[in-house]
Amino acid sequence: MKSWWIYWRTALKSDDICISGLLLKDEPMSRHTSLKVGGAAAVYAMPADQNDLLQLMEQLAAQQIPWLVIGKGYNLLVQDGGFKGAIISLEKLDKVELSDKNMLLAEAGAENLAVVRFAQSYGLGGISFISGIPGSMGGAVKMNAGAYGQSLLQHAVTVTLLENGVVREYDMAELDYGYRYFNLPADSLILTAKLKLVPVEPAIVEQEIQKDKELRQQKHCVGYPCAGSFFKNPPQQAAWKLIDAAGMRGARHGGAMVSELHSNFIVNSGNATAKDILELADKVKQAVLATSGVLLEEEVQVVGVES
Protein backbone atom coordinates (compact mmCIF):
# COMPACT_ATOMS: atom_id res chain seq x y z
CA MET A 1 0.00 0.00 0.00
CA LYS A 2 1.30 3.44 -0.88
CA SER A 3 2.49 5.51 2.05
CA TRP A 4 1.69 9.20 2.20
CA TRP A 5 4.14 11.50 3.87
CA ILE A 6 4.27 15.16 4.58
CA TYR A 7 7.06 17.57 5.50
CA TRP A 8 6.59 21.14 6.65
CA ARG A 9 7.98 23.71 9.05
CA THR A 10 5.47 25.64 11.12
CA ALA A 11 4.91 26.73 14.67
CA LEU A 12 3.94 23.12 15.30
CA LYS A 13 7.65 22.25 15.42
CA SER A 14 6.92 19.20 13.29
CA ASP A 15 9.33 17.35 11.03
CA ASP A 16 7.44 14.63 9.21
CA ILE A 17 4.50 12.27 9.38
CA CYS A 18 4.05 9.07 7.39
CA ILE A 19 0.94 6.89 7.18
CA SER A 20 -0.53 4.38 4.72
CA GLY A 21 -3.77 6.33 4.43
CA LEU A 22 -4.48 9.79 3.07
CA LEU A 23 -2.45 12.73 4.35
CA LEU A 24 -2.99 16.36 3.29
CA LYS A 25 -1.34 19.64 4.26
CA ASP A 26 -3.25 22.90 4.91
CA GLU A 27 -6.56 21.27 4.05
CA PRO A 28 -9.65 23.56 4.17
CA MET A 29 -12.11 22.12 6.65
CA SER A 30 -14.99 23.62 4.68
CA ARG A 31 -14.52 20.52 2.48
CA HIS A 32 -15.02 18.15 5.40
CA THR A 33 -17.79 19.63 7.56
CA SER A 34 -21.52 19.68 6.97
CA LEU A 35 -21.65 23.45 7.58
CA LYS A 36 -19.21 24.00 4.68
CA VAL A 37 -17.23 26.61 6.62
CA GLY A 38 -13.92 26.62 8.42
CA GLY A 39 -10.25 27.40 7.91
CA ALA A 40 -7.52 24.93 7.12
CA ALA A 41 -6.16 22.12 9.25
CA ALA A 42 -2.37 22.09 9.28
CA VAL A 43 -2.68 18.34 8.65
CA TYR A 44 -5.68 16.30 7.55
CA ALA A 45 -5.14 12.56 8.01
CA MET A 46 -7.30 9.58 7.12
CA PRO A 47 -5.66 6.39 8.47
CA ALA A 48 -6.24 3.23 6.45
CA ASP A 49 -7.00 1.04 9.47
CA GLN A 50 -6.55 0.81 13.22
CA ASN A 51 -2.84 -0.07 13.01
CA ASP A 52 -2.28 2.93 10.76
CA LEU A 53 -4.11 5.09 13.30
CA LEU A 54 -1.91 3.81 16.13
CA GLN A 55 1.21 4.67 14.15
CA LEU A 56 -0.13 8.13 13.39
CA MET A 57 -0.91 8.81 17.04
CA GLU A 58 2.61 7.74 18.04
CA GLN A 59 4.08 10.24 15.58
CA LEU A 60 1.81 13.04 16.72
CA ALA A 61 2.65 12.36 20.36
CA ALA A 62 6.39 12.25 19.64
CA GLN A 63 6.21 15.63 17.90
CA GLN A 64 3.72 17.11 20.39
CA ILE A 65 1.25 17.98 17.66
CA PRO A 66 -2.32 18.67 18.86
CA TRP A 67 -5.02 16.58 17.23
CA LEU A 68 -8.75 16.27 16.83
CA VAL A 69 -10.74 13.26 15.63
CA ILE A 70 -13.78 13.71 13.41
CA GLY A 71 -16.21 11.43 11.64
CA LYS A 72 -18.26 12.79 8.77
CA GLY A 73 -17.94 16.38 9.92
CA TYR A 74 -21.43 16.76 11.37
CA ASN A 75 -22.01 18.58 14.65
CA LEU A 76 -18.73 20.41 14.12
CA LEU A 77 -17.79 24.04 13.51
CA VAL A 78 -14.18 24.84 12.66
CA GLN A 79 -13.35 28.52 13.11
CA ASP A 80 -12.05 30.62 10.23
CA GLY A 81 -8.45 30.58 11.44
CA GLY A 82 -8.39 26.81 11.12
CA PHE A 83 -6.93 24.14 13.38
CA LYS A 84 -3.21 24.38 14.14
CA GLY A 85 -2.68 20.66 14.38
CA ALA A 86 -3.89 17.40 12.91
CA ILE A 87 -7.51 16.66 12.06
CA ILE A 88 -7.97 12.90 11.93
CA SER A 89 -10.82 11.31 9.98
CA LEU A 90 -11.78 7.76 11.00
CA GLU A 91 -13.83 7.24 7.84
CA LYS A 92 -11.87 4.09 6.90
CA LEU A 93 -12.32 2.48 10.33
CA ASP A 94 -15.83 1.30 9.49
CA LYS A 95 -16.02 -2.41 10.32
CA VAL A 96 -19.20 -3.82 11.87
CA GLU A 97 -19.46 -7.39 13.16
CA LEU A 98 -21.35 -9.62 15.55
CA SER A 99 -19.38 -10.32 18.71
CA ASP A 100 -21.60 -12.39 21.00
CA LYS A 101 -25.28 -13.30 21.05
CA ASN A 102 -27.27 -10.16 20.30
CA MET A 103 -24.05 -8.15 20.53
CA LEU A 104 -22.72 -5.95 17.77
CA LEU A 105 -19.26 -4.40 17.57
CA ALA A 106 -18.90 -1.26 15.44
CA GLU A 107 -15.80 0.77 14.67
CA ALA A 108 -15.94 4.53 15.08
CA GLY A 109 -16.03 5.25 11.35
CA ALA A 110 -19.07 3.07 10.61
CA GLU A 111 -22.02 5.16 9.43
CA ASN A 112 -25.02 5.11 11.74
CA LEU A 113 -27.44 3.82 9.11
CA ALA A 114 -24.96 1.12 8.04
CA VAL A 115 -24.84 -0.16 11.64
CA VAL A 116 -28.64 -0.30 11.83
CA ARG A 117 -28.77 -2.08 8.47
CA PHE A 118 -26.13 -4.61 9.56
CA ALA A 119 -28.11 -5.44 12.69
CA GLN A 120 -31.29 -5.67 10.64
CA SER A 121 -29.69 -8.30 8.38
CA TYR A 122 -29.25 -10.52 11.44
CA GLY A 123 -32.75 -9.96 12.82
CA LEU A 124 -31.60 -7.51 15.49
CA GLY A 125 -32.81 -4.04 16.35
CA GLY A 126 -33.43 -1.52 19.09
CA ILE A 127 -31.29 1.28 17.67
CA SER A 128 -33.35 2.36 14.66
CA PHE A 129 -33.60 5.84 16.18
CA ILE A 130 -30.03 6.57 15.02
CA SER A 131 -30.72 5.56 11.41
CA GLY A 132 -31.64 9.09 10.39
CA ILE A 133 -28.92 10.83 12.40
CA PRO A 134 -26.18 11.71 9.92
CA GLY A 135 -22.64 10.80 10.81
CA SER A 136 -20.75 7.85 12.19
CA MET A 137 -20.58 5.80 15.37
CA GLY A 138 -17.64 7.66 16.87
CA GLY A 139 -19.57 10.92 16.79
CA ALA A 140 -22.78 9.21 17.91
CA VAL A 141 -20.99 7.75 20.93
CA LYS A 142 -19.16 10.98 21.73
CA MET A 143 -22.39 12.98 21.70
CA ASN A 144 -24.51 10.13 23.08
CA ALA A 145 -26.76 10.69 20.09
CA GLY A 146 -30.43 10.01 20.48
CA ALA A 147 -34.01 10.68 19.51
CA TYR A 148 -37.53 9.91 20.66
CA GLY A 149 -36.49 9.53 24.30
CA GLN A 150 -33.66 7.09 23.60
CA SER A 151 -29.91 7.50 23.43
CA LEU A 152 -27.18 5.32 21.97
CA LEU A 153 -25.20 4.73 25.14
CA GLN A 154 -28.27 3.19 26.78
CA HIS A 155 -27.59 0.28 24.45
CA ALA A 156 -23.81 0.20 24.88
CA VAL A 157 -22.05 -2.53 26.86
CA THR A 158 -18.46 -1.42 26.35
CA VAL A 159 -16.54 1.34 24.59
CA THR A 160 -12.94 0.81 23.49
CA LEU A 161 -10.69 3.85 23.66
CA LEU A 162 -7.17 4.67 22.58
CA GLU A 163 -5.47 6.48 25.46
CA ASN A 164 -1.90 7.71 25.13
CA GLY A 165 -1.06 4.86 22.76
CA VAL A 166 -2.81 2.20 24.83
CA VAL A 167 -6.00 0.45 23.69
CA ARG A 168 -8.41 -0.11 26.60
CA GLU A 169 -11.95 -1.46 26.73
CA TYR A 170 -14.25 0.15 29.31
CA ASP A 171 -17.49 -1.16 30.76
CA MET A 172 -20.15 1.53 30.66
CA ALA A 173 -20.29 1.60 34.48
CA GLU A 174 -16.73 2.99 34.43
CA LEU A 175 -17.64 5.93 32.20
CA ASP A 176 -19.37 9.27 32.73
CA TYR A 177 -22.15 9.96 30.25
CA GLY A 178 -25.65 11.40 30.10
CA TYR A 179 -27.97 13.46 27.96
CA ARG A 180 -26.06 14.44 24.82
CA TYR A 181 -22.65 14.02 26.41
CA PHE A 182 -19.94 11.46 26.97
CA ASN A 183 -17.12 12.65 29.19
CA LEU A 184 -14.11 11.10 27.49
CA PRO A 185 -10.96 10.56 29.53
CA ALA A 186 -8.28 13.11 28.62
CA ASP A 187 -6.23 12.48 25.46
CA SER A 188 -8.38 9.58 24.33
CA LEU A 189 -10.32 8.72 21.21
CA ILE A 190 -13.12 6.27 20.49
CA LEU A 191 -12.21 3.12 18.56
CA THR A 192 -15.22 0.84 18.90
CA ALA A 193 -18.52 0.44 20.71
CA LYS A 194 -20.17 -2.84 21.63
CA LEU A 195 -23.96 -2.62 21.60
CA LYS A 196 -26.50 -4.99 23.09
CA LEU A 197 -29.45 -5.35 20.73
CA VAL A 198 -32.72 -7.24 20.80
CA PRO A 199 -34.35 -9.62 18.29
CA VAL A 200 -36.61 -7.63 15.94
CA GLU A 201 -38.13 -8.73 12.66
CA PRO A 202 -36.30 -7.08 9.74
CA ALA A 203 -39.62 -5.84 8.34
CA ILE A 204 -40.34 -4.00 11.59
CA VAL A 205 -36.86 -2.45 11.59
CA GLU A 206 -37.48 -1.33 8.00
CA GLN A 207 -40.71 0.35 9.06
CA GLU A 208 -38.86 2.14 11.86
CA ILE A 209 -36.12 3.29 9.47
CA GLN A 210 -38.60 4.63 6.93
CA LYS A 211 -40.69 6.36 9.60
CA ASP A 212 -37.61 8.06 11.01
CA LYS A 213 -36.51 9.06 7.51
CA GLU A 214 -39.89 10.64 6.75
CA LEU A 215 -39.99 12.53 10.04
CA ARG A 216 -36.50 13.91 9.55
CA GLN A 217 -37.23 14.95 5.99
CA GLN A 218 -40.27 16.86 7.23
CA LYS A 219 -38.53 18.52 10.17
CA HIS A 220 -34.82 18.62 9.35
CA CYS A 221 -34.47 18.98 5.59
CA VAL A 222 -33.66 22.68 5.81
CA GLY A 223 -32.22 23.09 2.32
CA TYR A 224 -28.88 24.62 3.38
CA PRO A 225 -25.63 23.31 4.87
CA CYS A 226 -25.99 22.91 8.62
CA ALA A 227 -24.62 20.96 11.56
CA GLY A 228 -27.93 19.64 12.88
CA SER A 229 -29.33 20.96 16.16
CA PHE A 230 -27.10 23.84 17.20
CA PHE A 231 -28.19 23.98 20.85
CA LYS A 232 -28.93 21.32 23.43
CA ASN A 233 -32.46 21.10 24.77
CA PRO A 234 -32.57 22.53 28.31
CA PRO A 235 -34.16 20.22 30.93
CA GLN A 236 -37.85 19.73 30.24
CA GLN A 237 -37.77 22.28 27.41
CA ALA A 238 -37.23 22.39 23.65
CA ALA A 239 -34.57 24.77 22.40
CA TRP A 240 -36.48 25.52 19.20
CA LYS A 241 -39.51 26.70 21.17
CA LEU A 242 -37.38 29.07 23.23
CA ILE A 243 -35.77 30.41 20.05
CA ASP A 244 -39.19 30.92 18.49
CA ALA A 245 -40.44 32.69 21.60
CA ALA A 246 -37.45 35.03 21.33
CA GLY A 247 -38.47 35.92 17.78
CA MET A 248 -35.27 34.56 16.25
CA ARG A 249 -36.69 32.19 13.64
CA GLY A 250 -35.36 33.37 10.28
CA ALA A 251 -32.86 35.79 11.85
CA ARG A 252 -29.80 36.50 9.69
CA HIS A 253 -26.23 37.62 10.22
CA GLY A 254 -23.92 37.76 7.22
CA GLY A 255 -24.32 34.49 5.38
CA ALA A 256 -25.72 32.69 8.45
CA MET A 257 -29.43 32.23 9.15
CA VAL A 258 -31.67 30.65 11.75
CA SER A 259 -33.63 28.18 9.65
CA GLU A 260 -37.21 29.08 8.80
CA LEU A 261 -38.08 25.39 8.93
CA HIS A 262 -36.40 24.42 12.22
CA SER A 263 -35.26 27.25 14.46
CA ASN A 264 -32.67 25.15 16.30
CA PHE A 265 -30.76 24.86 13.03
CA ILE A 266 -28.31 27.62 12.13
CA VAL A 267 -27.54 27.27 8.43
CA ASN A 268 -25.04 28.51 5.91
CA SER A 269 -27.41 30.31 3.55
CA GLY A 270 -24.56 31.12 1.17
CA ASN A 271 -20.93 32.16 1.67
CA ALA A 272 -21.24 32.23 5.45
CA THR A 273 -18.12 32.30 7.56
CA ALA A 274 -17.65 30.52 10.86
CA LYS A 275 -17.62 33.98 12.45
CA ASP A 276 -21.06 34.73 10.95
CA ILE A 277 -22.46 31.54 12.44
CA LEU A 278 -20.92 32.05 15.87
CA GLU A 279 -22.07 35.67 16.08
CA LEU A 280 -25.60 34.70 15.07
CA ALA A 281 -25.55 31.90 17.65
CA ASP A 282 -24.56 34.43 20.31
CA LYS A 283 -27.44 36.71 19.29
CA VAL A 284 -29.82 33.76 19.60
CA LYS A 285 -28.47 32.94 23.07
CA GLN A 286 -28.82 36.50 24.27
CA ALA A 287 -32.37 36.80 22.89
CA VAL A 288 -33.44 33.56 24.58
CA LEU A 289 -31.82 34.62 27.85
CA ALA A 290 -33.66 37.94 27.73
CA THR A 291 -37.08 36.44 26.98
CA SER A 292 -36.99 33.11 28.83
CA GLY A 293 -34.17 33.42 31.35
CA VAL A 294 -32.51 30.33 29.88
CA LEU A 295 -28.90 30.31 28.71
CA LEU A 296 -28.68 27.87 25.82
CA GLU A 297 -25.68 25.57 25.54
CA GLU A 298 -24.17 24.66 22.20
CA GLU A 299 -24.54 21.07 21.03
CA VAL A 300 -22.26 21.76 18.07
CA GLN A 301 -18.56 21.38 18.87
CA VAL A 302 -16.57 24.54 18.13
CA VAL A 303 -12.84 24.08 17.48
CA GLY A 304 -9.92 25.98 16.01
CA VAL A 305 -8.91 29.63 16.20
CA GLU A 306 -10.38 32.89 14.96
CA SER A 307 -8.95 34.36 11.77
Q: Which residues are catalytic?
A: 180, 229, 299
**Is the CB of residue 109 less than 8 Å from the CB of residue 138?**
yes
In the three-class reduction of DSSP (H, G, I as helix; E, B as strand; rest coil), residue 263 is classed as coil
Is the distance from CB of 130 to CB of 112 less than 8 angstroms?
Answer: yes
Contact 167, 160 (CB under 8 A): yes
Which is nearest to 75 in space by CA: 271, 190, 230? 230
Residue 171, classed as helix, strand or coil, is strand
> Distance (Å, rounded) from C-alpha 297 to C-alpha 281?
10
For residue 5, report the phi and psi dihedrals to the nearest 5 degrees: -130, 160
**Burial of 55 (C-beta count, 10 Å sphere; 0-12/13-18/19+):** middle
Grouping H, G, I as helix, E, B as strand and the rest as coil, residue 66 is coil
